[in-house]
Structure 1
Amino acid sequence: MTNNESLFKSLSPSKIDSSVEIQNWLSQFSINDQTFAKLLLSRLKFISRDKYSEWLNKTILSIIDKQFVFALYSVRKLSQSGNYPSYWGNDKQVIYRPGESQGSEDLVYSLIANLVRANKDRLLDHPSLDKLKSNKVRQYILIDDSIGSGERISKFINSMLKHPTFLSWWNLGWINIHIVSFSRFHEAEKKIITNIRGKDNAKQKIRKSSKIKFHSELVYHQNWIKSRWGENYEPLIEFCQAQKQIPPKKRLGYGDVFSNLIFYHSVPNNTPGIIWAKKSKSKWEPLMPNRTVPTWLIELLENNNDKIITTSKLSNELLNAIMLIKKGIRNPTSLAQRLNTDTQYAKNLLEHLKMTGLINEHSRLTSRGLDIFHQKNIISLQSWDYSMYIPNSWCAG
């Protein structure tokens, strides 16, 4: 695993301010809540289809061995209800896959097909039980985008084990499973192993935990939220929890995972619901409806040259930053405290102000910045304390 930040795209303050679509989404919040909404957006990590594809190809090629044949399967949700079917039909073939788009699964299917074409002697594409038997397959690679709670992957494996033939192979120790996901939570590993059929104690000849290996680019600890969301993650959690227009179970994402990783080809349901969820009969408009990343957002992320924002479009946040800089507050940490954000976001704001020519390299106002400071649209900074934060949606009236 390599924590390579070049894999990711993110939304800078200038990109957030320059996007009409994002501004429309932000307008659904109060002025105070917009600060937290923008901070949340800036902390999201986006990975493109190309980057994900490159990573997946590299990872699978590092797993396969010339002396073995590997079977590749895309992990998918098999049923909306609690009673999921066997993955194998009576004819020992993989059960029917719906014809309509399946989101991230479609991309994984395509990548698997390409890999198999290039490695026909070692890889099999979603093979049947008969084909597994004839090729004496012992190595299985199950592919998912990300693993949060681990529920989907454990149910998927159990659906494979519902067929007596596959179950017998599993009990005999003839199956070794490699679970490949770009990211996973460390806590999910134990849950997956626990929830899979069979026992995992020292009395077992072959413990089920020895049959499973995990491969990921990123491994998070669910309680180490600071590593994902930055130093001021607690107000962000309170902010998301307070959004009554979002169903309670979706406010922090599925299983309260509160992930910040988003794929161009799919928005995981363990990310904050405020960006993708919509309550029934609610007027609320999510930024990424139906858990998809809109084309305009991909174009915004891929634009390496941040759009110059004109004076008339400067946000209250930037105007407040100008006022603070004029008062001599130029240190990112001090700015963050006064603007109700975190240090990294404050650094990005300073870079944005430099790019627009409002401050110089020494973080002092230029003549253009001074002109804006003296204009009437400079607003007064409100006194704000994170420890006393009460989201706007909690307030009566």
Structure 2
Amino acid sequence: MKEDGAFLARKLIYTEQGKRWLRQFDDLDQETAIFLANSLTLVSHTEFRRKLEQNLEEAAADIDGPIAVFAIRELPKTAPEQWMTPQPMPFFSCTVASPDGRSVAAVEATSDLGSEAISAQIIRQLARGNSTKFVNHPTLSEMRARRCRAIFLVDDFIGSGNRVREFVESLWLEPTIKSWWSTKHIAFHVIAYSATESGMTSVQKHKSKPTVRVHRDATSFDALPIKPESREAIRKLCGEYGKRALKGRKNMWFGYKQGMCSIVFEHGCPNNTPAILWEFKEGSPGWTGLFPYRTVSGEVASVFPPEVVRGDSVSLLTDMGQKRLAKSGALSRTGETGKIILVVLAMIAKGHRKRSSICFATGLSSKDCERIIERCIKWKFLSPQRRITPQGLSELNAARKFSVLERAAVERGSDYYYPRQLRQITC
């Protein structure tokens, strides 16, 4: 948990845009507004591209054969009758093929380009670097000629899951693809940088049974590893000032589908985040979000850390009510792995068992969170159901007794962690 990057992210509120945003809150509410801004997970261009590419390459390593790769975007819909809800159209009937008939356009020529343009560029680079493995937005005939064994659908963030499901459905409506899937010649994979738990579940329920792979679980402000009263204060703030920012659209005060998401990308702010972060309204009373119109200005982008990190463990433990552990010397007596293990045990002891919450608190990827949890289960600090065990509680109690002046048993910076309860048999 590198604290230099976390410090950089906390400068968000001191930018000129941050100051303008903060001045809109009453004096008594500004502390909560600052806490909300400091709790955002800021994802830079560098972090996004590097981790999404890594995610794609790791997923491709498990596929024996070429892979058709598409950037997820909004597609046209149609309804047989005016009163019916519009539904996705078959994918290749609403895309434009290249002159040679081997690929389709990755984005609409006249569309307001968003994350799909960045995803499309990443796909293009991967295909150029490994053309035998990655096939960039192929047509059906090209997929057949290349004998593609999987379809990778790429996005930055899965919020509600609606857009991803509609894109998957559009491909599913192609009879040829459905036939290949039914005979197990092809499989669907959705690759994203981050996703909410509900969004992942929604996508996984599609009839094509896609495998969903993300680098980092996204948490919501409702699930932050903090005291319940602090979470309630944030929600109250979003409601009260959301009314000022979006008076006539109550359904968006807490974000699309009540998402309350806490992740923001340098290329744009998802609409699943609270409206007070991204709305812009002129007049009186007007409103200026931290990310007006869901865009990130150059000044604000300058405080996005190169990689996702989380703030110091002392503040985190204090926020979740683990003050004795925060004040002990345990956190300074071990390396990064030991510190993370203590934080994870402290979180689970307080009922914060969701992987998204652990990702938020530690700055770890979803995969690394699983590894830490598996290690804790192996040491019997956690049960297989991911609940704190008596041994885990004993480890926390032992850590709380560390004196600040006590000399470290393990040199600080060591990558290995010796549980206090096991030291007699591991040393």
Residues 53-112 of structure 1: per-residue CA shift (max 9 Å, x gap):
111121111122474101111111224884333221289844772344412111111111
State the structure with more CA Rg: 1
Seen in structure 2, the aligned counterparts of structure 1 residues 153 and 249 have a Cα distance that, compared at 3 Å, is: same
Query: Which residue of 2 is the match for residue 261 of structure 1?
Result: 263
Residues 192-238 of structure 1: per-residue CA shift (max 9 Å, x gap):
233x3x4xxxxxxxxx43xx212112225769712499972221011
Q: Distance in 1 between matches of 2:117 and 2:158?
A: 17
TM (norm. structure 1) is: 0.65
Paired residue secondary structure (2:46): helix
2:89 aligned with 1:85: yes
Query: Which residue of 2 is the match for residue 174 of structure 1?
Result: 185
Q: Percent identity?
A: 23
Q: Distance in 2 between matches of 1:78 and 1:303?
A: 32
Opposite residue 55 of structure 2, the aligned amino acid is T
User: 1:7–1:51: 8 Å Cα contact kept in structure 2?
Assistant: no
Q: Distance in 1 between matches of 2:37 and 2:181?
A: 44
Seen in structure 2, the aligned counterparts of structure 1 residues 85 and 176 have a Cα distance that, compared at 3 Å, is: same
Q: Distance in 2 between matches of 1:102 and 1:50?
A: 19
Q: Distance in 2 between matches of 1:189 and 1:105?
A: 19
User: 2:190–2:211: 8 Å Cα contact kept in structure 1?
Assistant: yes
Query: Which residue of 1 is the match for residue 214 of structure 2?
Result: 216
Q: Distance in 1 between matches of 2:174 and 2:202?
A: 22
Paired residue secondary structure (2:151): strand
Q: Distance in 2 between matches of 1:228 and 1:101?
A: 38
2:145 aligned with 1:134: yes
Seen in structure 2, the aligned counterparts of structure 1 residues 178 and 26 have a Cα distance that, compared at 3 Å, is: same
Q: Distance in 1 between matches of 2:304 and 2:227?
A: 19
User: 2:279–2:293: 8 Å Cα contact kept in structure 1?
Assistant: yes
Paired residue secondary structure (1:57): helix
Q: Distance in 2 between matches of 1:53 and 1:228?
A: 30
Matched pairs, number: 299
Q: Distance in 2 between matches of 1:73 and 1:218?
A: 21
Match of 1:240 among 235, 238, 241: 238
Any gaps of 5 or more consecutive residues in structure 2?
A: 79-85, 98-103, 308-313, 328-427
Query: Which residue of 2 is the match for residue 122 of structure 1?
Result: 133
Q: Distance in 2 between matches of 1:259 and 1:22?
A: 19
2:65 aligned with 1:54: no
Paired residue secondary structure (1:132): helix
TM (norm. structure 2) is: 0.61
Paired residue secondary structure (1:142): strand
Q: Distance in 1 between matches of 2:147 and 2:64?
A: 12
User: 1:10–1:43: 8 Å Cα contact kept in structure 2?
Assistant: no
User: 1:278–1:284: 8 Å Cα contact kept in structure 2?
Assistant: yes
Opposite residue 26 of structure 1, the aligned amino acid is L
Paired residue secondary structure (2:193): strand
Opposite residue 259 of structure 1, the aligned amino acid is C
How much has 1:133 moved relative to structure 2? 1.0
Residues 374-393 of structure 1: per-residue CA shift (max 9 Å, x gap):
xxxxxxxxxxxxxxxxxxxx
Any gaps of 5 or more consecutive residues in structure 1?
A: 199-207, 305-330, 348-397
> Map of 1:101-120 to 2, 5 A cutoff?
101-120=112-131
How much has 1:189 moved relative to structure 2? 3.1
Match of 1:24 among 8, 20, 35: 20
